[in-house]
């Protein structure tokens, strides 16, 4: 965590809004994941924050990558393009998964020369992959419970477990190879039983596939690993203990296990510093207007159902306040119950743990540019 004195110094030097990414935290997060889940290879979900500098640091720290578009694939590929061709292809096969179950024909054509591992969850996708990316390996995505997740994904993706082996068989009949299964329990999943249920469903599909002559070799347990936004989130090692026990019980050692942590890797690595540009009292409530908002770094308030507490550097008695972004849209509301002291125009505020699904979705709405990004401890 960057100290307040350092944050104020950086804001004075670089201006605001300022998005500060601490690469020491990124490296620590990779190390923690590997320490507590030694059997699971982390494939960083690039969509959480696709900044090339972040990808480079995670690459050097030993992470693999989950991509969901060609631009994301190419950001990762930039780190390995100078490797010898044989090593580069080996990395793509072993260290990148294209985990978007639905892909445009044009995307599949671009992917095919790289012979990637891709996910699918329906018969139509099998036909597309057969036609446009026949050199790809496949992982079937299962629909699993998303109860208790901050962002659920099962309504959009995932094959019903009951039709899973039929989809595996259909892919093999199309001349494709299904390497294994994948699932996603939902983003910021604090209900660890989702993982237990999903792993048991996957194990059942493994057994049924084997009984019908299809030997699966890998399991992608997806993302959902919760970031420690507050004290209500159980420690990562508690989830890891549960996962390790279930993986040992259900899946032989020869089954390769991978995961797609995104939020877990980057949420705690970034802090946003903003400036108060206006204040008013409305209906008895103090309102502050700052130079960043939900169309920019606080986009996670809308798209990620996330709350990033706004904190002040100034000390003093606090009261419940509203904090708004700089645009003319009333939707640009950061929070209606922030605890802040009396602030003046020009005072600085900040929000911690804002590295995931935030700056990645920034726009230029109303002509306001995204926050400047500053990388430290690279």
Question: Using alpha carbons only, how large is the chain's radius of gyration in Å?
Answer: 22
Domains with residue ranges and CATH for the chain: 4-19+268-376 (2.40.37.10), 23-266 (3.20.20.10)
Q: Which two tokens stand for residue 121?
A: 């969850």
The pLDDT score that the predictor gives to residue 361 is 92
CA distance 144 to 157: 10
Strand-pairing partners, residue 4, are none
- In our burial notation (b when 16+ CB lie closer than 10 A, e otherwise), range 19-47 reads bbbbbebbbebbeebbebbeebbbbbbbb
Long-range (24+ apart) CB contacts under 8 A made by 360-367 are 360/47, 360/48, 360/49, 360/50, 360/51, 360/299, 361/299, 361/300, 361/303, 362/295, 362/296, 362/297, 362/299, 363/295, 363/296, 363/299, 365/295, 365/327, 365/329, 366/295, 366/326, 366/327, 366/328, 366/329
CA distance 328 to 342: 24
Give the residue from 98, 43, 101, 94 showing the smallest Cα distance to 71: 98
CA distance 363 to 302: 13
Question: Collapsing DSSP states into helix, strand and coil, what is residue 229?
Answer: coil
CA distance 357 to 324: 19
C-alpha distances (whole Å) from 84 to each of 87, 91, 159, 194 are 5, 11, 38, 41
Strand-pairing partners, residue 161, are none
| pLDDT tens digits, 33-89 | 999 999 999 999 999 999 999 999 999 999 999 999 999 999 999 988 888 888 887
> Please, what is the angle between helix 164-173 and helix 193-211, to 10°?
50
* Sign of CA pseudo-dihedral 7, 8, 14, 18: positive
Q: Name the residues annotated as catalytic.
A: 328
The pLDDT score that the predictor gives to residue 150 is 59
The pLDDT score that the predictor gives to residue 3 is 85
What is the full per-residue pLDDT of the chain (378 aa) written as tens digits? 678 999 999 999 999 999 999 999 999 999 999 999 999 999 999 999 999 999 999 999 999 999 999 999 999 999 888 888 888 877 887 789 999 999 999 999 999 999 999 999 999 999 999 999 999 999 999 998 666 555 545 667 899 999 999 999 999 999 999 999 999 998 888 888 889 999 999 999 999 999 999 999 999 999 999 999 988 889 999 999 999 999 999 999 999 999 999 999 999 999 999 999 999 999 999 999 999 999 999 999 998 889 999 999 999 999 999 999 999 999 999 999 999 999 999 999 999 999 999 999 999 999 999 999 999 999
């Amino acid at each position: 965590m960057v100290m307040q004195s350092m944050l104020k110094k950086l804001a004075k030097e670089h201006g605001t809004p300022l998005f500060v990414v601490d690469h020491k935290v990124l490296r620590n997060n990779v190390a923690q994941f590997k320490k507590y889940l030694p059997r699971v290879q982390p494939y960083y979900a690039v969509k959480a924050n696709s900044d090339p500098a972040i990808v480079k640091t995670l690459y050097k720290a030993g992470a693999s990558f989950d991509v969901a578009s060609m631009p994301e694939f190419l950001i990762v590929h930039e780190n390995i393009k100078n490797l010898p061709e044989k090593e580069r292809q080996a990395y793509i096969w072993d260290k990148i998964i294209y985990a978007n179950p639905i892909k445009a024909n044009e995307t599949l054509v671009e992917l095919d020369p790289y012979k990637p591992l891709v996910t699918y969850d329906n018969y139509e996708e099998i036909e597309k992959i057969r036609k446009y990316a026949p050199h790809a390996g496949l992982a079937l995505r299962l629909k699993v419970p998303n109860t208790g997740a901050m962002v659920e994904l099962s309504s959009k993706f995932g094959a019903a477990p009951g039709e899973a082996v039929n989809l595996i068989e259909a892919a093999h009949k199309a001349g494709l190879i299904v390497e294994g299964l994948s699932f996603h329990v939902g983003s910021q999943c604090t209900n660890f039983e989702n993982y237990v249920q999903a792993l048991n469903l996957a194990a059942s599909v493994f057994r049924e596939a084997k009984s019908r002559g299809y030997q699966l070799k890998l399991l992608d347990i997806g993302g959902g690993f919760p970031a420690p936004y507050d004290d209500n989130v159980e420690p990562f090692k508690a989830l890891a203990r549960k996962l390790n026990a279930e993986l040992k019980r259900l899946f032989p050692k020869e089954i390769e296990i991978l995961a797609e942590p995104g939020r877990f890797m980057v949420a705690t690595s970034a802090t946003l510093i903003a400036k108060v540009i206006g204040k008013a009292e409305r209906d008895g409530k103090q309102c502050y207007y700052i130079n960043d908002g939900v169309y920019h770094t606080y986009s996670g308030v809308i798209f990620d159902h996330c709350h990033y507490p706004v904190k002040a550097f100034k000390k003093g008695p606090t009261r419940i306040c509203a904090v708004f972004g700089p645009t003319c849209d009333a939707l640009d509301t950061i929070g209606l119950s922030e605890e802040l002291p009396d602030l003046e125009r020009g005072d600085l505020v900040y929000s911690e743990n804002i590295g995931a699904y935030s700056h990645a979705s920034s726009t230029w709405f109303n002509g306001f540019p995204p926050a400047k990004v500053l990388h430290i401890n690279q």
